Structure 1
Amino acid sequence: MAARMSLLQHSRALGAAVFAVAATWSMPSHALFGDDEARRAILELRQRVDSLQQANQRAGERSTDEVSQLRRSLLDLQTQIEALRTEQATLRGQNEQLQRDVAELQRRQKDMAQGVDERLRKFEPESITLDGREFRADPAEKRDFEAALALFRSGKFPESAAAFGKFVGAYPQSGYLPSVRFWLGNAQYATREYKQAIGNFKSLLASAPDHARAPEAALSIANCQIELKDTRAARKTLEDLLRAYPQSEAAAAAKERLARLK
C-alpha cells in the first residue's frame, strides 16, 4: 500500500512538472525572462521530469518487488499451514492409536488378573467329603487320588498300586490317607502282594479305627492271611473284627468265613 501511495505521488509530481513545462512553452519568453534564462529553466524542468520519471520507474519496480515478496510470503504461509494440518492429522492418528493401545493393555491386564485369580483358586484347598469324613485338600491331592482310584476301577491294579504308593509319599499328612491305604491294600491283594496289603490295612486300622473302611480293612487282612495259609491268624483277625465292628456288613462276612475255617 505504501509503495502504491509513493508511486501515485511520483505520478502526480511528474504530471505537475509536465504541466509546468507546457505552461512555460506556451508563454512568450519575453513575458518572464530572457532566452538564456528560458533555456535554463527548460533544461531544469526537463531534468526534473527525467528525475521524476526515473523515480516513478523505481517506485514501480519496488512495488512489483513488494508484490512478488508478498506472494512468496503468502505461499510460504500456505505451505506452513498445510504442514501444520498434516502434523495435526498425524498427531490425531497417533492419539487414537495410543487410546487403542491403552484399551488393549487394560483388557490384557484384566485378563491377566482373572488368570491369576483362576490359578490361585487352583492351589487353594477345598473341602472334601470322603468315606464319611470331611477334610480340606489341595487340588493336586484330589487330582492324584482320583487318578489312582480310576486306575483301580479300570482293573489296572499294578498301575493303581504304584499311583497310591506315590500318593502316600507325596502327601503323608493328607486327609485322603486312610482311604488311600485301603485302596492300596486292595490293589496289592489283587496283585497277590498279600504281606504288603496286610501292612497297609493295619496302618489304616491303627491311624483311623473309626474310619468307614476300617471293618472292610480288617476283613481284607483276614483274606490275605487265608491266602497265605495262616489260618490261626485269620481266625483271630475275624474274631477281633466281630468284637470291634459287630453291626457292620463286614462282620456278617466274617461269621461266614469263621464257619468255613472250622
Structure 2
Amino acid sequence: MRAAPLLRSTLAALSLVAVLPAQAGLFDDEEARRAILDLRSRIDQTGEAQRKKDAELAEQVNGMRGGLLELNATIEQLRAEIARLRGINEQLQRDVSDLQRRQKDVQQGIDDRLRKLEPQKVSVDGVEFLADPEETRQFNEALAQLRGGDFAGAGSAFSAFQRRYPSSGYGPSAQYWLGNALYGKRDYRDAINTFRALVNNSPDHPKAPEAMLAIANCQIELKDIKSARKTLDDLQKAYPKSEAAQAGRQRLAALK
C-alpha cells in the first residue's frame, strides 16, 4: 500500500509527458526542458518523501517488534519467577507441616512423660488415694516378690518402700505385707511388732483385723498360747463382724 502514492505520481508524470508533444507548438525547446526538469524534480521529491515515510514506518514497526520481543521476554521472566515462588511456597508449606507434626510429637512425648510422673488414683485393700507411678511400681514389685515366695527380698523391698514413702497411701498395706514377709521368714517377734504397729496406727484400715489374727498366729508359733487367746479375744471385741474375727473364733475354739 505504501507504493500506491508513488505509482500514482509516476503515472501522472507520464501523462504529462505524453501530452507534451501535442503542446510542442505552444512552447519552445527551452521551456519544454524546464517543464520536464521541474516535473522530474517533483517526482524525485515525491519519491524521496515517500521513502522517508516508508523508512519512518519501518522504523516504527521495528520498534514495535522490539518492544513486543522485550515484553515477551519480561513475561517469560515473570512466569519463571512465579513458578519459583510457587515452588518456594509449597516447600515452606511442607516444612511448616513437618514442623507442626514434630512439635505435636514432642508435645505428646512430654505429656506422656508428665503423666508418668503425675500422681494417679489407685485403690488398694478397699482404700483409694493418689500415688506416684514410681511409688506404685515399687509397691507392686515388693508384693510380687512376696507372692513369689521370696520373703527375704520382699521384706527388704517393703522396708525400703516405707523409708522412701513414709506418708504413702500404701503405708498400712505395706506394713501388713511386711509383717507377712517376716512371718514367712519365721521372724515371728518382728512380725508381731510390725502387725501391732499397723493396728495401733491405722485401726480403721481394712487390713487391721487380719493383722490381729496374724499376731495371734505368730504367738501360737511361739507357743505363747495365753497371749494368742487374748489377741483373738480382743479381735472379737474390736472387729466382731470381720472375716478375721470369724476365723479367730474358730482358732480360739481349737486352742481350748
* TM-score, with length taken from structure 1: 0.70
Counterparts in 2 of 1:37-186, with a 5 A limit? Answer: 37-89=31-83, 123-126=118-121, 128=123, 130-131=124-125, 133-140=126-133, 141-186=135-180
Q: What does residue 230 of structure 2 align with?
A: 239
Q: What does residue 251 of structure 1 align with?
A: 248
One-letter code aligned to 2:252 = K
Give the superposed CA RMSD. Answer: 3.9
CA distance in 2 between partners of 1:152 and 1:82 (Å): 82
Displacement of 1:222: 4.7
CA distance in 1 between partners of 2:16 and 2:226 (Å): 162
CA distance in 2 between partners of 1:182 and 1:20 (Å): 142
Q: Aligned with 1:204: secondary structure? A: helix
1:175-217: CA deviation from partner (whole Å, max 9, x where unpaired): 2211110101212332345454334222211111233322332
| Overall identity of the aligned pairs, in % | 41
Verify the 8 A CA contact 1:17 1:49 in the aligned structure 2.
no
CA distance in 1 between partners of 2:153 and 2:77 (Å): 77
Displacement of 1:157: 2.6
CA distance in 2 between partners of 1:238 and 1:115 (Å): 58
Q: What does residue 15 of structure 1 align with?
A: 10
Mark the runs of 5 or more structure 1 residues left unpaired by the alignment: none
Q: Which moved more, 1:96-105 or 1:194-203?
A: 96-105
Aligned residues: 248
CA distance in 2 between partners of 1:19 and 1:124 (Å): 119
Displacement of 1:24: 6.6
Displacement of 1:150: 1.8
1:80-112: CA deviation from partner (whole Å, max 9, x where unpaired): 344444444555566666666666667677777
Displacement of 1:114: 6.7
CA distance in 2 between partners of 1:154 and 1:136 (Å): 26
Mark the runs of 5 or more structure 2 residues left unpaired by the alignment: none
Q: Which moved more, 1:183-192 or 1:16-25?
A: 16-25
One-letter code aligned to 1:48 = R
* TM-score, with length taken from structure 2: 0.71
1:164-185: CA deviation from partner (whole Å, max 9, x where unpaired): 2233233322222111101012
Verify the 8 A CA contact 2:212 2:235 in the aligned structure 1.
no
